[in-house]
Structure 1
């Protein structure tokens, strides 16, 4: 299972320990809780500088979710695992909404102005806010983990798909292109693009075969835009038929397949756009950075018979991956929620102002977004509630728990667990 981070009195990271050892130190009052997420304890007594075993931080960047793992290269033990859920698409939608509101307001309030062009310049390396947020989220957690664990190296999945290898399978120059990794890049791309299911019958969780949409016997190419996935039954049934003849009784599915074949993979585009920006951020830490491809990650995971998940993909990134020990690992689930909004005037769905927000954020020592524990001893809502709090100046708070939202909890029953840092947590 995931271990507990330990730091000394000078806040230097020590070797992570088993949770039972952490409980014993806390019970004997030799340590105190320093942080809840990720759970970290701090020793109360000074100790001589012990030797620590270096760990490798492994990262599998994703458009929606990024996998994070801490691995001991010497023993192969996965010390810590986490999955970080980004809010890039939410940022994109919020920016689109803001743009629409501003355009509507300008049309109503200002005179006509001729359009201006080329009057805004962007610095070199600029990324859209929805993409920059992904890089910033990973940067934040790399810095946090470096404070709590003795990290000596970093591994990053730099390219999700090797586009050059997929277009030309006979390309020369690298060993992996003619070795054990041949075909993994193309298959992984197709699995992502076609949602890991047979395109003809929709079945999942069965062995899938790479299939030509337009058969090679009738002039079809090996281009990635002409490849899809099907189960063995559908592949045999289709044979060398043209897809239009094979699906003539199902025109909606035919249209969907032909449309998807030409459509680029949006998530892969987001990852590919931010990959080198993230690489520069990781190099700025001063630690050695190893890179690998998505095909290599899948090859390592398949070789070790590890079930697919975001944190497992992270643990198998790079050529340095040893034989992993993953027994009992329970990843920390982190969701990026942002730090709130600076918008003072709330609007309805038509863009007209209908409420005003105050700039005071802290009420009775709590702030919206804090994770708290509330023990209600009397009234209609007797019970124990743990979750993110929504504060009001009246002192009547709402708590978002796993089972739902609890309204009308007095601040007198609340005690803080984890101060707001822009993320929510779960297991």
Structure 2
């Protein structure tokens, strides 16, 4: 796991190892600039006196979670072929959890409360529908994903010498899907031939057999209307079938094969004509993010989801959002990907609402106007050393403040309530995000979700054995 390094004028230098950072701090050559992600600032060096290497930041945009990987590219010799290939050395893995669904639910609730008040209290004449939306407008829940991703791209640019970017612009290459006879593109040759089609069908048909709903079994591509009877190779005529169903169907038309199951036949016809769910919204977010990434002035590499999965399978890397980012674009090899992942959860910076509402949309209680109490704000990361009482111990994590001075330390079910403010020491100010270190699942392949396990690692400077709660 890399540690970010800044010079004495806060300019980014090459990240270093944990051991190197510890030596610099012990010798007094550096100061702690930020706890999470851990960043140090040198007191005796400038950026112009250092040798920098170009780093690449890879991004895989997602609906709920986006993956980020900070990598360094180098040339190595392939032991099997003797050729010189480019390898990506992973320096840091990050997963950014968005709160777009929470924004959508809050806007829906506010809209319902307003409509109820306007209809019950007084008559409100309809207004002219002359409002227009600017070109490129996105719903707040979608715009949030673009804004938070770009916020972390900007942050990482301040902490590391990033020279290029990679992003997954398309989930699937629609041009290759609609025109399989196209030639000259690299993805249409070799092992990648047809991989985009298979990934598209797996997503479209829910990774199960269309004829018997069999899951967790080998699936084959089947022509709904067989080619022997005039069927085409377009994706609208392709589906997934397990091997027994494919053998039973043989070269029958789907209407003949499912003549005794009209409901399933109607469902297959509906699914094959319908586009992927939320595809328009996700594609709009990716395009908006791509436009914002181009505005940074850095070289932006784009790739597809099908190629990302092909790279990950070929290199034997498990499924995770951050590892998808490391495998985005043209990748020959990936090194040092077995490391902890920094999970970043967007929590917001508070709210403008000053009241709690009843189910009818009217105020039932009022919130305090001040966001701080005793020098702390909700979301601050603190270290609480309780020396007396029933809660003696050391606690780390984000806090929830109260005007009484009795805070909650931690997050979720692990929160410890009733910690007095005099036991708390500020570690890092609230910035709208919660942090946790997680591990990549050890299983290989696509078994299960392959997501990071729930075990949380200790924060920098904290012993794992003396903490009951973490942020």
Q: Normalised by the size of structure 1, how large is the TM-score?
A: 0.89
| 8 Å CA contact 1:293, 1:318 repeated in 2 | yes
Asked whether 1:137 is paired with 2:117, we answer no
Residue of structure 2 equivalent to 1:146: 157
Distance 2:188 2:115 in 1: 51
Q: How many angstroms does 1:255 deviate by?
A: 7.3
Task: Extract unaligned runs of 5+ from structure 1.
Answer: none
Q: Which moved more, 1:331-340 or 1:230-239?
A: 230-239
Q: Match of 1:77, SS?
A: strand
Q: How many angstroms does 1:15 deviate by?
A: 1.2
Task: Kindly report which structure 2 residues correspond to 1:268-287, keeping only aligned pairs within 5 A, or say none.
Answer: 268-287=279-298
**Structure-2 change in CA distance of 1:94 and 1:220 (3 Å):** farther
Q: Match of 2:301, SS?
A: strand
Residue of structure 2 equivalent to 1:417: 427
Q: How many angstroms does 1:418 deviate by?
A: 2.3
1:116 to 106, 128, 135: 128
Distance 1:364 1:250 in 2: 69
Q: How many angstroms does 1:102 deviate by?
A: 0.9
1:82 to 94, 97, 107: 94
Residue of structure 2 equivalent to 1:352: 362
Task: Kindly report which structure 2 residues correspond to 1:3-152, keeping only aligned pairs within 5 A, or say none.
Answer: 3-46=2-45, 49-74=49-74, 76-117=88-129, 119-152=130-163
Q: Match of 2:91, SS?
A: strand
Residue of structure 1 equivalent to 2:277: 266
1:224 to 228, 235, 240: 235
**Structure-2 change in CA distance of 1:326 and 1:236 (3 Å):** farther
Distance 1:265 1:237 in 2: 28
Deviation digits for residues 401-422 of structure 1, max 9, x if unmatched?
A: 3652322221112222222111
Task: Kindly report which structure 2 residues correspond to 1:197-216, keeping only aligned pairs within 5 A, or say none.
Answer: 197-198=208-209, 200-204=212-216, 206-213=217-224
Residue of structure 2 equivalent to 1:326: 336
Task: Extract unaligned runs of 5+ from structure 2.
Answer: 76-87, 438-471
Distance 1:359 1:125 in 2: 36
Task: Kindly report which structure 2 residues correspond to 1:274-313, keeping only aligned pairs within 5 A, or say none.
Answer: 274-313=285-324
Residue of structure 2 equivalent to 1:372: 382
Distance 2:34 2:260 in 1: 60
| 8 Å CA contact 1:73, 1:322 repeated in 2 | no
Q: Match of 1:59, SS?
A: strand
Distance 2:168 2:387 in 1: 50
- Taking only aligned residues, the RMSD between alpha carbons, in angstroms, comes to 2.7
Q: Normalised by the size of structure 2, how large is the TM-score?
A: 0.81
What is the count of residue pairs matched by the alignment?
423
Q: How many angstroms does 1:345 deviate by?
A: 2.0
Q: Which moved more, 1:126-135 or 1:340-349?
A: 340-349
1:361 to 361, 367, 371: 371
Task: Kindly report which structure 2 residues correspond to 1:245-256, keeping only aligned pairs within 5 A, or say none.
Answer: none
Q: How many angstroms does 1:351 deviate by?
A: 2.2
Distance 1:375 1:45 in 2: 34
**Structure-2 change in CA distance of 1:251 and 1:67 (3 Å):** farther
Q: How many angstroms does 1:189 deviate by?
A: 2.1
Q: How many angstroms does 1:269 deviate by?
A: 2.7
Q: Which moved more, 1:78-87 or 1:216-225?
A: 216-225
Q: How many angstroms does 1:252 deviate by?
A: 8.3
Deviation digits for residues 35-82 of structure 1, max 9, x if unmatched?
A: 122211111323561111111111111122111111111252111111
Q: Match of 1:170, SS?
A: coil
Residue of structure 2 equivalent to 1:159: 170
Distance 2:253 2:378 in 1: 58
Q: Match of 1:350, SS?
A: coil
Asked whether 1:340 is paired with 2:332, we answer no
Q: Which moved more, 1:170-179 or 1:327-336?
A: 170-179
Distance 1:338 1:254 in 2: 46
Distance 2:245 2:394 in 1: 54
**Structure-2 change in CA distance of 1:251 and 1:346 (3 Å):** farther
Distance 1:377 1:258 in 2: 68
Distance 1:354 1:22 in 2: 52
